[in-house]
Structure formats: structure tokens, C-alpha cells
Amino acid sequence: MTARTADVAVIGGGLIGRAVALACVRRGLSVTLFDTREPGESSPAGAGMLAPITEGADSPATRLFIAGRDLWPAYLAALAELSPVPVALSRAGIIALSHDDAEASAQRAPAPGQPHWQGASALAELEAGLVAPLGGVLHLLDGAVDNVALLRALDHALDHAALHAPSTDRRLTRAGPAAGVERTAIGPTAGVRVRTRDGQSHDAASAVVAAGAWSPHLTGLPRTLPIEPVRGEMIGFPVAVTSRCIYGPGAYVVPRPGGRTIVGATMDRVGFDPTTTATARRSLHEAVAAFLPALTNVEPDSHWAGLRPVTPDFLPIMGPDPDWPALIHATGHSRNGILLAPMTAAAVADWVTGKVPAWDLTPFRPDRFK
Ligand code: GLY
């Protein structure tokens, strides 16, 4: 059976899918959200860092990453009008420690994004517990968002949108996991039929592929999506030891509200395996204790893993498919899905409504891989 037509089908209920769905609802569109809860989904597993320089230093898209970061304050202010769930945002800067003398001299040189070199004593003034004899760089305005609270806030906002739309014209409908897509007509104006794993069909004028590492599993895509799951393991400590994020050799540190610290993350190409390992737990703990000795004798009280959707160039795949413009890609965000969620949501809502996004997103175009 084919369900009634929506304006937009959003395939994937992680951070990108939820943010895209909400952006479309806020433009007055009706949305069907195809939610998939997969073991190892990356959105709740991430650390929430907004690190456009540290995570994108060699990328031609660094300016886009910075623009994406700077959307966050207004994005959360708008979300706060739709949801009472508080979402912590820190823009206290991220410290990137030098790994060796060569890197320290390179980091002293100017680079994009207002980095500020700090020697060991300056760093100790910023973060009392930090041991960093080689110094490092303070990336001003970078920081972190509490991605777990954010997911709850988006859910609340979406449910609110669903509940408060007139029942004959619900703005948001939730559906089960999608199995594949097909065209509802021949030609470039074809809409999209989404088939669910339990055999339902839902038609929409446009569909958005936002299923992270699972996106390539959808049948009927007009191109192969070169997205690979890359496992990141994280550990959590029940103490606060820093006031801002720190990237050190072998580990990064993110302070969380409520006096917690989370530390990540490994990069393991192990397929769709979200299990955690004693080796990663030990190596992350040893790496962080080397620059934050206060954690040496504190046992992690949590340990988890997520599967990042990683592309060959670590940039997302974003935009209408050139061979099927009703199908819009919003996936493959690699190490920067949280950073780029507000930008992705706004751009997709623009494409769906026939507008041109405010940014030149050519570096993310879906047909860049041959
Ligand atoms: N953005 C941090 C990570 O992917 O581990």
C-alpha cells in the first residue's frame, strides 16, 4: 500500500535527519521521517565538538566548516523557542596541543580561523591541570555542543510540530526504517517513493538521504555513495578536569555539563561493528593522562562506540543528485556531522523549496567521486 504524499521524505533519524526534518517543517512543508535505530549510530555517540580548524585544517572546505560553526548560537536560540530541553553550547575555544617540536614551530605560524599560539605557561593559565611542555594553539570560538541533549531537543520540537499541526495536515509523520527509493515518474521532475523494510510505500515530492553510514545500503540510489563506517570509541569520566576542549596526542577531551569529561576517539575501519575494546579503553586513558594527570587514577565509568559515516575526502555528500534532483543527499559527514548539522538543515530546506543556499557548497557536491 502507498501512503499519502508528503512534501519531503527524510531518510534517517539521527542528528542530520532530525535537523533537516525540523528545518523543512519550519518552512511549512509536510515531512515523513523514516527513523532507523541502528546499533552504533553516530549522533548520540559523538563528543559534540565544533572544531572546524582542528578537524578540517587541510580541507578546501575549512571556510565552510567555520561558517557552519558560527551558525550554532542562532540555531540553538531558535530551537529553544520550540523545545524546553536545554542544550549546552561552549565557545570557549579548543586547545590543540603540539605533538613535537616541528609541529610546534609550524603552529606558531599564522593559519586561518584566528588561532592563537600559547606557550606552556600560557596554557597552564588557561587550564590549570594541563601539562603541555611544547605548547599549542587556542582556536578561539571553537567549542562543543551537548549532542545528546540536542537530539532530545530536536525530538521534542518535532513532536511538538506533529502534535500541533491540524490532524488533516500533519506536518510531521514518523515511519519505520527505509529500505530503498524509486522514482514515481520518468524524467528529471520525478518524485520519490520510499519503501520501508516492512513493505510500506510512501510517496514524496523530494527525499533526503540522511542515513549516515547506512546510506549506501538504500536500494535504488542513482549513484554509489562511497561512505564507510569508521568506528570511534569514547570513554567517560565522572569528574570535571578542564573548562574547554583539548586535542592532545592520541586523545581529545570534552567537558560535559554536570561535572563529566568525555575522551575520544579511535578511528577503526571494522565495518558495522560497534563493540568496544579493552585496548581502546586503555590507550585513550593513557593518552589523556599524559597531558591531564588528574585523570591518571580515575577509572572511566562509561565506554561506548559510534560508527562515523566517512567519505574518501572526509567531506559530506550534500546536494540534489544531478541525475535525480528530487533526491537530495545529506550524508557522509565523516568527522563533522554535529558541526555541520545547522548548515546542512538550512541548505536542504533551501534545495527542497527551490532556493539557492547561502553558501557555495560545491566542495560537497554528490558527483565529485568518479
Ligand atoms: N569529530 C571527532 C571525531 O569524529 O572523533
Taking the centre of ligand 1 as the mean of its atom positions, its distance from the CA of residue 338, in whole angstroms, is: 9
Index of the ligand 1 atom closest to the CA of residue 267? 5
Q: Is 123 in the pocket of ligand 1 (CB under 6 A)?
A: no
Burial group, residue 77, by CB count within 10 angstroms (0-12, 13-18, 19+): exposed
What is the spatial distance between Cα 178 and Cα 149, in angstroms, rounded to a whole number? Answer: 25
pLDDT tens for each residue of the chain, 370 residues long: 666 689 999 999 999 999 999 999 999 999 999 998 889 999 999 999 999 988 876 777 999 999 999 999 999 999 999 999 999 999 999 999 988 777 777 766 655 544 678 888 989 999 999 999 989 999 999 999 999 999 999 999 999 876 666 554 568 999 999 999 999 876 556 789 999 999 999 999 999 999 999 999 999 999 999 999 999 999 999 999 999 999 999 999 999 989 999 999 999 999 999 999 999 999 999 999 999 999 999 999 999 999 999 999 999 999 999 999 999 999 999 999 999 999 999 999 999 999 999 999 999 999 999 7
For residue 322, what are the contacts with CB-CB under 8 A and spacing of at least 6? 366, 367
Q: Is 337 in the pocket of ligand 1 (CB under 6 A)?
A: no
Taking the centre of ligand 1 as the mean of its atom positions, its distance from the CA of residue 358, in whole angstroms, is: 26
Index of the ligand 1 atom closest to the CA of residue 264? 5
Give residue 34's pLDDT: 97
Kindly report the protein residue whose alpha carbon is nearest to atom 3 of ligand 1. 335
Taking the centre of ligand 1 as the mean of its atom positions, its distance from the CA of residue 266, in whole angstroms, is: 9
Index of the ligand 1 atom closest to the CA of residue 308? 4
Cα three-residue angle 326-330-335, rounded to 5 degrees: 165
Give residue 189's pLDDT: 60
Name the 3-class secondary structure at 365.
Answer: coil
Short-list 249, 237, 210, CA closest to 95? 249
Give residue 168's pLDDT: 47
Q: What is the 3-state secondary structure (H, E, C) of 278-345?
A: HHHHHHHHHHHHHHCHHHCCCCCCEEEEEEEEECCCCCCEEEEECCEEEEEEEECCCCCCCCCHHHHH
Q: Is 309 in the pocket of ligand 1 (CB under 6 A)?
A: no
Report the 10 Å Cβ neighbour count for 345: 27
Kindly report the protein residue whose alpha carbon is nearest to atom 5 of ligand 1. 265
Name the 3-class secondary structure at 164.
Answer: helix
Give residue 114's pLDDT: 47
Give residue 4's pLDDT: 62
Index of the ligand 1 atom closest to the CA of residue 55? 1
What is the spatial distance between Cα 96 and Cα 108, in angstroms, rounded to a whole number? Answer: 12
Beta bridge partners of 2: 201
